[in-house]
Every structure is written in C-alpha cells, then in structure tokens.
Amino acid sequence: MNDILVASGVRKIYRTGAEELVALRSIDFRVVEGEWVSIMGPSGCGKTTLLNCLSGLDDIDDGTVTIDGRALHAMSDAERTNHRAKSMGFIFQAYNLIPVFNAVENVELPLLLAGVDAKTARSRATETLERVGLGSRLRNRPTELSGGEQQRVTVARALAGRPKVVWADEPTGALDSETASVVMDLLAELNSQDGLTLIVVTHDEEVGRSAQRLVTMRDGTIVSDLELSRSAS
Amino acid sequence: MIVALVLSVPFIYILATKPVLRRLAVRNAIRRPRETMLVIAGSLLGTALMTASFVVGDTLTASISATAHTQYGPVDEVVSVLAPQAPELRRRIGGFQNSLIDGVLPITTLEVAAATVEPNNIATAAAPKAQLLEVDFNHAAIFGHDAPASGLSGQGPGAGEAVVVEALANRLHLHGGDTFSVFALGQNVRLRVARIIPQLGVAGFWRGREVVSYNAFVSPGTIALLAAHLDISKAGPRSAALGELPLYSMLISNRGGVESGAALSTAVVRALRQPLAGMATNVLPAKKNLLDAARKAGDGLQQLYQTIGTFAVFAGILLLINIFTMLADERKSELGMMRAMGLRRRSLVATFASEGWLYGIVACAIGTVVGLGIGRLVIEGASQITASANKDLRAPIKFHFTPTSLQSGFAIGLTITIATVIGTSISTSRFNIISAIRDLERSKVRGGGVRAVIGGVTAAIGALLTVVGFAAVNALPILAGPALLALGAATFLNRRRSRRPVTTVFAAFAIAWGASAVPIAIGFGAEPQVAAFLIQGLIMVIPAVILLSEYQNEVGHVLARLTGRRLSVRLGLAYPLARRQRTALTLAQFSIVVFILTYITTLSTMFQGQAAQFTSDLGGGYNVVVDANPINVDALRNTAGVEIVAPLWRNERASITPSTSNETSEWPMAGIDASFLRTQPPKITDTGSYPNQTAVYQALIHSDHFAIIDDRFLSRGGPPASPVGIGDSILVKDPASGGSKRLTIIAKASNDVLFNGGWTSAQAMRAIFGVNAIPTRAYIKAVDPERFASAIESSDFRSGAQAVTINGKVKEQLAQQNKFFSLIRSFLSIGLVVGVAGIGVIMVRAVRERRRQVGVLRALGFPADSVSNAFAIEAGFVALEGIFIGVALGLISTWTITLSDNFGRGLTFVVPVVALLVLVFGTLIGSLIATVGPARSAAKIKPAVALRMTD
C-alpha cells in the first residue's frame, strides 16, 4: 500500500504577544492509504493541532506535509482549499453543521465545492444520508435533529465527496455511549468496505482502540505508535 | 429631560450598587471597542436628527425675531390714524402714562416710490416701495430708555434733506450729499442725503410685510407738503386715486428689553382701550405679532423636520433592536450559564439594559454634537434657498441654537434608546437555559394566549381610532385605525395552520388601506398633516415587510434558480431567509426611509411638471400682475399690448381674526369688481355650495359679506394649513381706521403664490379700509407678458410699479419648492445612512457570530473569495428587498394621490426614473461598501483558528 500522508519534521508554535508555545515538536508521521489511525493523549498535548496542521487547516512553522503526493504547505491558500474540497472530509466534535441549511443541503455542500453539478450533488447527498440511516430526515435542519443524528449528518458530509482521507476530531465526544457506538460502527464499516483512510483524534479509549494504529502524543511529540489488531475492537 | 433622567435612575442605581451586574455590563461594553463604536454610531443618529430639528427651529425663530430689533427696537404697539384724527389721537394718548410703558413717540409715515433720477428724467435706480418718515430725533433717541435699540440719534434732517436707512441708500446707490427723488400722491420732491444710518429700531420702523426697510427720514412738514394739494380732511375717492394717504401714528414702548417688552403687549392694548374709546382706530401689538409669528414659523419648521426625521429615527430604533438581539444571540451561551448559576431573569435584563444605557449615554452625547452639525448643514441649505428668493420678504437666516434644544435632543434620543433597550432586553431574556448553554437555535416562545390578548386589544384600539377619526375628521386616526384593526385581527387570528392566509389577507388589506387612506381622509375633509405621511409610511411598510417575510422562501427559491443555484448565492440567501425576524427588521429599516424618499422625489417631480397647469390655475386668462401705489388703470389700459386690466383693491396688513380662534393675524386682503371677470379669473378649487366657479365670483363681487381663501390663508411655517374653511367667517379690520367687517368664506382658490391674500369684493374693501381702499395691484392680460412686465417697471417708476409674469412667478415658486424638497431629501438621506450603517453593523456581528461556521466552510473547501461574496450577496439581497418595498410603496402612494379630487387635483403621475435609479443604486452601493470590511475579514478567517474558537 502507498503512503497517503507523509509528515516530516512538522513544528507548530503559537505566539501570544511575547510568549511562544511550541505545540508540535518536529513530528514525523506516515499514514498508509486505507489505514485507520487514532491519535490519543492528554488534553493540550497537541492532538487537534496535529490534525489541523496535517490536514492543511492550519499553517506550520517548519517541516513538510505531503498528502497523496502533494506538498500541502507549498500550495497557495486557494489551492489548499480546493485540495481539501476534493480529497478530504472532516468530522468535528461539535458537529459544526450550517444551521440555516437542512441535512441534505449540508451534505451536498462539499460536493458543490468540489464542482459536482447540483443534481448529482443532491442525489449523492441523499444516497449518503440514506446510507447513514437518515433517509427520512433529509429536510430537517440541524436544530431539528438529535446529537447523534447531527453527527451522522457530519459523517455523511465528510463521506459524500468520496474523499481519500477523513479527519475526525473527537467524533464521539458529544455523544452518549450508545450513539457513539453507532457512529463508530459506521466509520469502521466505511473504512473496511470503502478503504477510507481515517485519522481520528480522540480521548475515548474505546474509539482509539477501534483503529488499526494508535498514536499517543504528549507535549507536542509522538510518544508511541502502535499497530493494533482490528479484532481488538 | 426629566423623563430621560427618571428613566436613567434605575441604571445608575444598578451600576452603583450591584458590583456583579456592573462588572458584567461595563466589561461587555468595553470588551470589543470597535464594535462598541459601531453600536454607538448606530444609536446616535436618532439623537442627532432630533437635535438638528430643534436647531433648525431655533434658527428660524431667532432669524425672524431679529426683525424685532431691526424694524421695531423699543416699539411694541402702534396706533395709527389718518390726518383728520391725528390731533385727537395726540390729545388722547400723546401723554399716556402707565406702569407698563416707558414712552410714546409720535411719527408720520407715507408710502412712496423713490428713485435716483438723472437730469434727463431717466431713473438709474428705483425703490418702488419706500417710506418717508417724520419724527423728532431727540425724542426718538431716548424713546424706550434704550438708546442703542432706538437706532436714531443725533441731529434730524433739515429742510430738503433726508436721513436715509442703509437699505434704501444701497438700493438707490446713494452716498452722503447725493440727491434722490420721492414720488407720492401725484407729487414729487427732491431730497439731499444728510447721512446714512443702519436699519435698527425706530430707524427701521416699517409698515409693510418686507423685512427690509427702505426708509428715509425727512424734516417735519415734508409729508404735509406732498399732501398739500389734497384736502385731507375731505379725503375720498379723488385723493385715494393718487395713492395711500399719510398715516399718523403713536409708537408705544413697553417696559423691558426689545423682546421681553412684548410680553406686556396684551395688557398694554387693554390699558389703551379706555383713552381711545370712541375713536375709529386700532392698537396693533406689532412686535408681539412678529415674535408670535416667528415662534410659530420656528415651531412649524421644527415639527416638519422632526416628523420627517422620525422616519430615520424609526430606522434607528429598528437598528438598535437588531444590534441588541444579535448581541444577545452571540452571548447566548454565557447568558445561559449565568442563568444556570442562579442569575435571575430580572438581573439579566438589568445587566443587558445597563450595558445598553451606557451605550445610549455616550451615543446621545455624541449625537447631540452631530445634530448641531446636521442642523448647521440644513441651515446652510435653507440659506441658499432663501438667497434665491425675494430677499425683501425673507429674514436673513443666521445659525442659532439654545441650550434647551440641545437638552431636548439629548433627552429624546436617550429616552428612545432606553425604551428600545429595555424592550429588547426583556424580549431576549426569555430563553431556555439548556438551549442557550448548548448554543442551540432559539426555541419558539410560548405565549399564544398573550398574543391573542395583544391582538384583541390592538384591534379594539384600531376600531376606536377608526370611529374617532371619521367622527372628528382627523387624518391621523383615519389612517392608523383600520391598519391597527387589521394588524390586531391578524395577531388575534394567527394560528399555526392558518398563519399564512391570515397574514396575507390582513397585510394586503393594510397596504391597500395605507395607499388609499390619505386621499380618502382628505376627501372626507381632513387636513393633510405631515405626520399623516409618516403614519401612511408605517402602515404600508410594516405589513409589506411582514408579507414579504412570509414569502421569503419562495423569493429565495426563485433567486437561487435564476442564479443557477450558485453556492455563494445560496449561502448568501440562506441566512436572511432563515433569520426572518432579523431580516425583517433590517428590511423595515431600509423600506421606511426609501419609501419617504421615493414619495418626496416623485411628488417633487410631479409638481415640477405642472408649471403650465399652475400658471393657468393661478392667472386664469391673465398673465401679468402689477403692483403700484396707486395703480393707474387708465394708463395701463392705454399701454400698447395690454388687452385687459383688472384692478385689485388690496391692503397688505389687514388684521384678521378667524371665527375658529381668537388669534388675530396680519394678512393681505384683495377686493375685485366686475372688471375682474372680463376674462377667465383664477381657478376656484372648491366652490362650496355654489354650482360652479362663475357663480362663486358673481356672488363675491355683488356682496360685501363674502371671501374666498386658499389653503395657505393665515398659515405660517410648515405645510399649508389654514385655520378656517368654507362656511367659517373672518373678522377683517383696518388697523389704521379701526373699520371692520365680518366676511363668510364661500370658496377656496388655487394656492396663493402671488400672495393676494383673501379675496373679497371692492365694496367690502371700501367698507373696511375707507379712503385707503385703493387699487394697488392689477391683473393684466398682455399680448407679450415678458416684454410688458419689463417695460412697465422702467416707464412707471413714479408710482413704484413692479410687474411679474404669472408664469415667471410660478416657475420661481416651483424652483424654490424643488430646492426645499431637495433639502428635505438631504435631511432624510441621513436615514439611509442609518440603514447602510445598520447593514455594516449587522454584517460585522454576523461575521463574529458565524466564525465557526465560516471555519467549517473553509475546512470543507469553500474558497475565501466565495465567503466574502456570500456576505456581500446577503447584504445586497436585504438592501435590495428593502429598497424594492420602499420604492414600490412610495410610487403607489403618490399615484393614489393623483387620483384624489382634492389634494392631487391637476397632478399627473410621473415616475422620476433617473432620481430613483440614483436612489436605488446609491443605497445598494452604500450597503455593499459597508459590507466590504466585514466580508473581507470573514474571508480571512483561518479554519483552524475558527474551529478552535469558542468565542
């Protein structure tokens, strides 16, 4: 299998006035296509920062990140945005759905951004929502959905564009254990059936151990990188 | 001010005694200085406009009141008689003493024409209306015990000399030692200028309506010399034909200063009744009348600007509500947390309202200063208008304001702000704590029962106003009543299932009523008040906004389809379509101001297009009006190119007391005889109980009991609003002879642009004014009106002839009216600034509110420029909808006016395409410019930062 993500010597420093906080200290990291990697660690260790930097949501101070053979931080903002639209999906803890759009409109958003025509986008969004079990809630706005349903819409939104990599930041953080389990089963199914590359930042040990690889961070560095057996889940 | 202070007390108390609430209010207020500045900017305009209105009123009052110094000084009352009664008048009040007065000064005056005449008998400069005065300079200097105010001092003129007031000297290009001629009573006399003095006090004493005194003081006996050939004691038609006769007057000075002394006038007039008992004369409280008129005019203009400014203030209130609703939405989580921790709802309202009060105090203080500036600009504009008008008739405008006006502007602004902030705070404090903490959408607040009660009460008030309005024939309740009834009924009947049809039917009814109510109210006889147009605007705009909000989704679908469902368009439309309440407030902000701007612009254009119609209405078959003292009818008839001459027996300063009030005003009266009907007379717009115009004129000339007036009769300041109508009567008095007659108003004529005053018959004028009822104006039908008018002024300078073509006068009037409309439009445009600023403020807050969502969009691959486009589309969409409502309703309203038989008579509906395009695009571009900053900052949001942000 090919490496879909290669990060080398990634450093990230937050500056507040005269103060500097080193969030990532020369991180080297690789992810193989179709792999599910969980990133765990205590609060403030740099998990979310790593996800943001590796996905190109945030700039880095040093090092390189290559996704699918393309150096992410050498791209212009517009190119990086376009790249995200076409090859990445995101799942956030706080769902972050657009409140003025209904479920299907939220899901078709990345498709339209990737240049898919409106009719195809609508049909693929509908199809994806049906796949995550929300076929009957297409026209509901986020406020009319439960937390679990909203997260499933987020998952559908992340998957609708058939991205190569899906980034998930605490995808079950706001869910009860039962709903969390449904969402994680869904992600596992997508990973195993569709070969989706999944990079998940989590506090939840159970979620972390569902992955094929578990990376542990502390103080901006990777302190362990373990291969896990899928049967462990 | 007291109301504002009382309203402020609770906030001062909270801030002083509740440290936690104070900390919350103050820290929130200073947390984001840039946004605090925007909130203050949005809040200060209401105060600014109110202050500006007061300053405009102050300036006009002060400018007119200045005439009290330049034409009266110590003179408070004037008692005048003709020559035969002069000795008797002197005997009765020459030595009058009273604790209320401090002087009596005899003076003789004669209206003359003056000219600088070259030896070849050609006039190089002329003053058609000047005045000769004889007075004892030594006595005048100490008159009223206020030498500087008197204006006269030093030595009086010797025989053949004149002490000339500056205005006349300037008009005739005179310097000390020059000579000039005066013409009166068929005689003339040549005078040498002894010295030139400023127009002040007794030196400026003037009997006409002009504010400029073309006075020349002459030595005792000069006037008698001019009148020597007349047997004044037998003054009758023969002498009258030579011009107005000399008047012998007693000037009375009340105790106190120039303006304060006038307060004693009523008592002084009463005190003079006894010594003057049995004499055919009248005591004229001249200065009090002037100051009353000044106050009335000032108040009228202030009210006009205040009413017009209310449109912008209303827009400002909506902006304030929007800003505070957004502030509350943004702080939803923290407010929810505070409620969860035990903060009572009352305390929450107190904190929020205290923060608003802090903004309000600062905004109103700045607004007062800004209002002074706006007032200054309006005055500057008004000065330019008056500069192009007849300077003799208008007091020069000088910027002036009183501390009371500043206090009032501040207090009104603060009261509005506090009331708005309290209302919004109460409304925003009603939230579900968990929803707020979890930052969920605001759930619908229960309260169907309360709404039904509010709806029922509103409908009942509406019904009551409707009944009262029609019973009292008052435009305001007639307009507001049915609209409130519809609004109340819709609120009462609104239930989830039937909301759309109910809203549609009642909103459509309210719009239709708003469009047609003004002509209907006027048709019922109601006076067209300026406030009626404000209410009309509100009762059309509010339902239109409600109606559009109800159908926003449909509008959104159509627009999205038209733009090929582009993502930035869909996103730009999504927020205004989803947040309907907020969108509705912004829409109303724009609509109300654009409505009145469209209304005024269209009306102004329509008036400009009516010059020919107005000329025909005003002149009938006549085309020139000549003023002279006296009118020489035979000479005019014999002038080449003159077809018809109709003399008018006109007196400029009749004392008129309407039957509807005890207030006496000075206003011209003009008498006509049968000769006036030799061609088509001016148009009668309301024939009252007479079948047609001819019957009205026949009745008028064959009786001495009737009068015809126009809508401006006896009105001062603001829009035309005569205190009398058909069927009422007026008591017309000659202040010089005391002669009087009660006249019944039988009809209404076209607007009195030529200022004839009330029309009556020549015989009525003779009955009232006796020997001084002489023809001083003539309506002429000339073959070439322009040529005749210019020729007559130069050839007949001896009688002070002044001629104007009726068409020229109408055009001049329309040009001034147009300038006035432009000034009003400029003032109103400040309301648009509120709208545009509102869009800016709302967009700044929207960017902050949606940071996280923008972060998500950017994370998903939404390009930065599409983010800014979406914000621009959102602002443009809301602005365009608001503009559309305003323009459409403004045009509909003006169109319905042209259908009215009364108000819109003769007006043709015209759409001022260019002006409206400027308005539409100016507003739209302004809105987009206001969005540039927030849109760019939205585009710069870094996804990772936005997603990490919780604030």
b/e for A128-159, b at 16 or more Cβ within 10 A?
Answer: bbebbebeebbebbbeebeebbbbbbbbbbbb
Compare all CA atoms of chain B with the CA of A97 and give the residue at the minimum distance.
Answer: B853
Kindly determine whether residue A98 and residue B856, on different chains, have CB atoms separated by under 8 Å. Answer: yes
- Alpha carbons within 13 A on the beta-carbon side of B384: 11
Q: What is the pLDDT of residues A82-91, one digit of tens each?
A: 888 888 888 8
Compare all CA atoms of chain A with the CA of B560 and give the residue at the minimum distance.
Answer: A118
* Nearest CB to B858; choose among A81, A99, A105: A81
CA dihedral in degrees (B11, B16, B19, B22; nearest 10)? 40
Residues B119/B95, Cβ–Cβ less than 8 Å: no
Chain B positions in Cβ-Cβ contact with residue A105 (cut-off 8 Å): 570
| pLDDT at residue B369, rounded to an integer | 94
3-state secondary structure of B671: strand
Tell me whether A74 touches chain B (CB under 8 Å). no
Distance from CA of B856 to the nearest CA of A (A): 7
What are the C-alpha distances in Å from B707 to residues A100, B11, B642, B743, B766? 68, 60, 28, 6, 14
Q: Residue B195: which of B173, B220, B178 has the closest Cα?
A: B178
- Provide the pLDDT confidence category of residue B751 given band limits of 50, 70 and 90: confident
| B453/B487 Cα distance (integer angstroms) | 13
Tell me whether A140 touches chain B (CB under 8 Å). no
Compare all CA atoms of chain B with the CA of A160 and give the residue at the minimum distance.
Answer: B860
Chain B positions in Cβ-Cβ contact with residue A83 (cut-off 8 Å): 861
Q: Using the predicted structure, report yes or no on whether residue B492 has a pLDDT greater than 60.
A: yes
* Nearest CB to A84; choose among B570, B574, B860: B860
Residues B825/B651, Cβ–Cβ less than 8 Å: no
Q: Using the predicted structure, report yes or no on whether residue B240 has a pLDDT greater than 70.
A: no
Tell me whether A219 touches chain B (CB under 8 Å). no
| pLDDT at residue A233, rounded to an integer | 39
Chain A positions in Cβ-Cβ contact with residue B572 (cut-off 8 Å): none
* Nearest CB to B575; choose among A77, A90, A100: A100
More confident residue, B259 or B450: B259
| pLDDT at residue B700, rounded to an integer | 95
Kindly determine whether residue B578 and residue A100, on different chains, have CB atoms separated by under 8 Å. Answer: yes
Q: What is the pLDDT of residues B253-285, one digit of tens each?
A: 999 888 888 899 999 999 998 898 888 777 888
Q: What is the pLDDT of residues A28-49, one digit of tens each?
A: 999 999 999 999 999 889 998 9
Distance from CA of B59 to the nearest CA of A (A): 52
* Nearest CB to A84; choose among B861, B864, B948: B861
Kindly determine whether residue A81 and residue B864, on different chains, have CB atoms separated by under 8 Å. Answer: yes
Listed by number, the residues of chain A in 177-216 with a beta carbon closer than 8 Å to a beta carbon of chain B are none
Compare all CA atoms of chain A with the CA of B850 and give the residue at the minimum distance.
Answer: A98
Q: Residue B371: which of B46, B49, B40 has the closest Cα?
A: B49
Kindly determine whether residue B857 and residue A77, on different chains, have CB atoms separated by under 8 Å. Answer: no
Distance from CA of B359 to the nearest CA of A (A): 30
Distance from CA of B571 to the nearest CA of A (A): 9
b/e for B143-165, b at 16 or more Cβ within 10 A?
Answer: bbebeebbbbeeebbeeebbbbb
Q: What are phi and psi of B400, to 5 degrees?
A: -155, 145
Chain B positions in Cβ-Cβ contact with residue A141 (cut-off 8 Å): 441
More confident residue, B59 or A114: B59
Average pLDDT over chain B reads 84
- pTM here? 0.75
Chain B positions in Cβ-Cβ contact with residue A169 (cut-off 8 Å): 947
DSSP letter for B202, please: G
Kindly determine whether residue B856 and residue A110, on different chains, have CB atoms separated by under 8 Å. Answer: no
Q: Which two tokens stand for residue B111?
A: 């209206």
Q: Using the predicted structure, report yes or no on whether residue B237 has a pLDDT greater than 60.
A: no
* Nearest CB to A118; choose among B565, B579, B863: B565
Of A176-180, A209-213, B590-594, B714-718, highest mean pLDDT: A209-213
Neighbour tally for B602: CB within 10 Å:
24
| pLDDT at residue B230, rounded to an integer | 64
CA dihedral in degrees (B439, B442, B446, B448; nearest 10)? 180
Residues B710/B749, Cβ–Cβ less than 8 Å: yes
| pLDDT at residue B902, rounded to an integer | 58
Distance from CA of A44 to the nearest CA of B (A): 12
Distance from CA of A117 to the nearest CA of B (A): 10
Tell me whether A86 touches chain B (CB under 8 Å). yes
Q: Which of A43-57, A58-72, A154-168, B426-440 has the lowest mean pLDDT?
A: B426-440
3-state secondary structure of B489: helix
Kindly determine whether residue B859 and residue A143, on different chains, have CB atoms separated by under 8 Å. Answer: no
| pLDDT at residue B951, rounded to an integer | 37
Chain A positions in Cβ-Cβ contact with residue B856 (cut-off 8 Å): 90, 92, 96-98
| pLDDT at residue B647, rounded to an integer | 93
Give the B-side interface with A, CB within 8 Å: 440-441, 565, 567, 570-571, 574-575, 577-579, 852-853, 855-864, 942-945, 947-948
Antiparallel, parallel or unpaired: β A62-67 and A3-16: antiparallel
Distance from CA of B937 to the nearest CA of A (A): 15
User: Which residue type sits at B564?
Assistant: G
Chain B positions in Cβ-Cβ contact with residue A58 (cut-off 8 Å): 942-945
Chain A positions in Cβ-Cβ contact with residue B868 (cut-off 8 Å): none
Ramachandran region, residue B198 (left: φ > 0; alpha: ψ -120 to 50; beta: rest): beta
More confident residue, B334 or B171: B171
Kindly determine whether residue A101 and residue B852, on different chains, have CB atoms separated by under 8 Å. Answer: no
- Provide the pLDDT confidence category of residue B44 given band limits of 50, 70 and 90: confident
Chain B positions in Cβ-Cβ contact with residue A173 (cut-off 8 Å): none
| B383/B399 Cα distance (integer angstroms) | 10
Of B309-323, B430-444, B516-530, B748-762, highest mean pLDDT: B748-762
Chain A positions in Cβ-Cβ contact with residue B860 (cut-off 8 Å): 84-85, 90, 109-110, 113, 157
| pLDDT at residue B629, rounded to an integer | 76
Kindly determine whether residue B852 and residue A96, on different chains, have CB atoms separated by under 8 Å. Answer: yes
Q: Which two tokens stand for residue B60?
A: 């006009």
Chain A positions in Cβ-Cβ contact with residue B944 (cut-off 8 Å): 52-53, 57-58
User: Which residue type sits at B746?
Assistant: I
What are the C-alpha distances in Å from A38 to residues A4, A24, A148, A197, B172? 16, 17, 21, 11, 102
Residue B848, classified by CB atoms within 10 Å of its CB into exposed (0-12), middle (13-18) or buried (19+), is: middle
Q: Using the predicted structure, report yes or no on whether residue B948 has a pLDDT greater than 70.
A: no
Kindly determine whether residue A100 and residue B942, on different chains, have CB atoms separated by under 8 Å. Answer: no
Q: Using the predicted structure, report yes or no on whether residue B209 has a pLDDT greater than 80.
A: no
Query: Residues B58-71: what's their mean pLDDT?
Result: 87
Residues B758/B730, Cβ–Cβ less than 8 Å: yes
Q: Which of B157-171, B253-267, B555-569 has the lowest mean pLDDT?
A: B555-569
How large a percentage of chain B has pLDDT more than 70? 92
How large a percentage of chain B has pLDDT more than 90? 24
Kindly determine whether residue B859 and residue A112, on different chains, have CB atoms separated by under 8 Å. Answer: no
Kindly determine whether residue B855 and residue A98, on different chains, have CB atoms separated by under 8 Å. Answer: no
Q: What are phi and psi of B550, to 5 degrees?
A: -65, -30
* Nearest CB to B856; choose among A82, A85, A96: A96
Q: Using the predicted structure, report yes or no on whether residue B864 has a pLDDT greater than 90.
A: no
- Provide the pLDDT confidence category of residue A65 given band limits of 50, 70 and 90: very high
| pLDDT at residue B236, rounded to an integer | 46
- Provide the pLDDT confidence category of residue A103 given band limits of 50, 70 and 90: very high
Say how many CB pairs under 8 Å bridge A and B: 82
Tell me whether A78 touches chain B (CB under 8 Å). yes
DSSP letter for B96, please: -
Distance from CA of A229 to the nearest CA of B (A): 32
| B596/B832 Cα distance (integer angstroms) | 11
Residues B832/B597, Cβ–Cβ less than 8 Å: yes
Residue B131: its H or E element: strand B123-134
Q: Which of A28-42, B286-300, B355-369 has the lowest mean pLDDT?
A: B286-300
| pLDDT at residue B243, rounded to an integer | 63
| pLDDT at residue B96, rounded to an integer | 86
| B681/B679 Cα distance (integer angstroms) | 6
Q: Using the predicted structure, report yes or no on whether residue B921 has a pLDDT greater than 60.
A: yes
Kindly determine whether residue A99 and residue B857, on different chains, have CB atoms separated by under 8 Å. Answer: no
Kindly determine whether residue B862 and residue A101, on different chains, have CB atoms separated by under 8 Å. Answer: no
Listed by number, the residues of chain A in 24-63 with a beta carbon closer than 8 Å to a beta carbon of chain B are 48, 52-53, 55, 57-59
Kindly determine whether residue A78 and residue B852, on different chains, have CB atoms separated by under 8 Å. Answer: no
Distance from CA of A41 to the nearest CA of B (A): 18
